[in-house]
Amino acid sequence: MNRRKFLSRTVPATVMPALLNGFSFSAFGSQPGSALHHLLGPDVPNDHILVLIQLHGGNDGLNTVIPLDVYGNYYTARANVAIPQDRVLRLDGTDKTGLHPAMTKLQTLFNTGKANIVQSVGYDKQNFSHFRSTDIWMTGDDSNNRSTREKRGWLGRYLEDVYPGYPYEYPNSDMPDPLAIQISDMPTVTVQGDVFSMGLSITDPMNVYSFVNPFNDYPLNSEDANRELQYLRIITDKTKVYSDIIRAAYSKGTNQGTYDDTSLAKQLAIVARLISGGLKTRVYTVTLGGFDTHKKQVNAGDTSTGGHADLLKSLSAGISSFQGDLEKQSLDDRVLGMTFSEFGRRIKSNASMGTDHGAAAPLILFGKHVKKGVLGTSPDIPADVQVVDNIPFQYDFRSIYATVLERWFCVDKTKISQLMLKDYQSLPIISGTPCGLDDDIDEVNEQADKMILKFWPNPYQQVATLQFSTPGGKTVVQQLNALGQLVRIHAQETYPAGTFNIDIYEDQLPTGMYFIRLQTGNLQKVIRVIKAK
């Protein structure tokens, strides 16, 4: 039995406060994980919508969000593709980073608090294959064991949990619409459930399907054939029902304002119109391809133009039109958007005016309820950057997913660790929702700046001392190689508040550049160290 149904049937709303010892709803609203949340969540579907924009091919994060505080090293590393410093778009509240000059519309959204940026998002065993890394981002499982690793998508797991038994008893009064809609030819792993995809792929919402299913007898005496026929009849029915629902919503909905004539803008316009048409669908995915910019990512004469600039302009303008459309229709309260890409690109550019597959990259969230600001610091770019050097991750992408589940879909913390397969930290990136926490990004950054993370001598040979401070709680200190891959864990346990030293003896790592990454709660810090001969 669906828990919401159960509650609405058995407990009149007025009884609720008494049931909860007199605490009001609002008191619990700011306490995810409290008793009320346990009671209501995670089975309580809210009406929040998540729109995912996949940047296919691996987006060059360093040319999307440009590190002004290490601009000299940035420029040295990639002079032939570097964005001129005076062309970088400034962001309110920070002089450390700015946006690619093609993203003026996103700059406005950022400065008005409708978009934010999370720096250096990735994971610790970076896989450089498009296919595998896309799967990792979509499933949240980076394990190498193919037979045991997760095949369901992170949102597939969530939707399957909230809407058990889909598609058999759906649509129903609890969920009269598709759970997820992908504007694409093919379903992706993101919304894959245990057996069924939780999503529908559509390219033309106005398509009318002629398939019918008027017969319900099974005249052949074959168990196997009848089993398959029954399956086909269910799928035929559901597909017909949902395509009719989608078409009706699309006909009823409208778009306000203008969209550019780009593929992404058209996809987002369909999404806005379906939302406007009243669909209760929880997740939409759209895709922008072409980010695999191994060469000619910029024009030789003006590095602020070229293929990558066109993509970023399309992204920035598409998001802006979409957000404006929702605002004009007063639908923006319900919608959160997020970009993702399978990896970032190498720090050092190549000789073909392009960049090769890399590791971590910034991620953009947008919508009425995002927290304003830039979370995290500019990537640490060494002065003598090598071809193989990569940006290590500051934030695990699964922390962002976990935060979206917690603060946007109001999922209980215990359930989040089940859905995400592990515990991931919650980040101050979403605010103002009934289930949100109110951390301030700048405050977190300030706190992170005050955290101690030191390493001496640097460069070191075999012996060194590592010093870190923690406000208390589970604290992780990792060492990543130049590729951004985890090579050593120095600490991973619960510490009391304080400052701690770890002595390193007989370090066997090969010489080269490394990063030390400290994470405690939602704070983190990364420093660079050199292992010398």
Which residues would be at the binding site for other proteins (CB under 8 A)? 129-131, 146-147, 167, 185-187, 195-197, 200-201, 207, 209-215, 217, 219-225, 227-229, 231-233, 235-236, 238-239, 242-243, 296
Minimum CB distance to other proteins, residue 129 (Å): 8
Q: What is the DSSP string of 316-345?
A: HHHHHHHHHHHHHTT-GGGEEEEEE-S--B
Minimum CB distance to other proteins, residue 265 (Å): 23
Nearer to other proteins, 222 or 494 (CB): 222
Nearer to other proteins, 6 or 209 (CB): 209
Nearer to other proteins, 299 or 329 (CB): 299
Please give the Cα distance from 297 to 489 (Å, whole number).
36
Minimum CB distance to other proteins, residue 130 (Å): 8
Nearer to other proteins, 185 or 503 (CB): 185
Nearer to other proteins, 145 or 330 (CB): 145
Minimum CB distance to other proteins, residue 95 (Å): 36
60 in Cβ contact with 298 (< 8 Å) = no
Nearer to other proteins, 128 or 495 (CB): 128
List the one residue out of 397, 408, 403, 364 whose CA is nearest residue 49: 408
The number of beta carbons lying within 10 Å of the beta carbon of residue 240 is: 16
Strands 373-375 and 283-288: unpaired
Minimum CB distance to other proteins, residue 448 (Å): 38
Q: Which two tokens stand for residue 486?
A: 């985890």
Minimum CB distance to other proteins, residue 486 (Å): 19
Cβ-Cβ contacts under 8 Å for 242 (sequence gap 6 or more): 171, 177, 178, 200
391 in Cβ contact with 120 (< 8 Å) = yes
Nearer to other proteins, 35 or 220 (CB): 220
305 in Cβ contact with 313 (< 8 Å) = no
Nearer to other proteins, 189 or 269 (CB): 189
Which residue type does 24 have?
Answer: S
Minimum CB distance to other proteins, residue 417 (Å): 27
Minimum CB distance to other proteins, residue 218 (Å): 9
The number of beta carbons lying within 10 Å of the beta carbon of residue 94 is: 17
What beta strand segments (E) does 382-533 contain? 395-396, 453-456, 464-470, 473-481, 486-495, 498-504, 512-520, 523-531
Q: Which two tokens stand for residue 33?
A: 């994980």
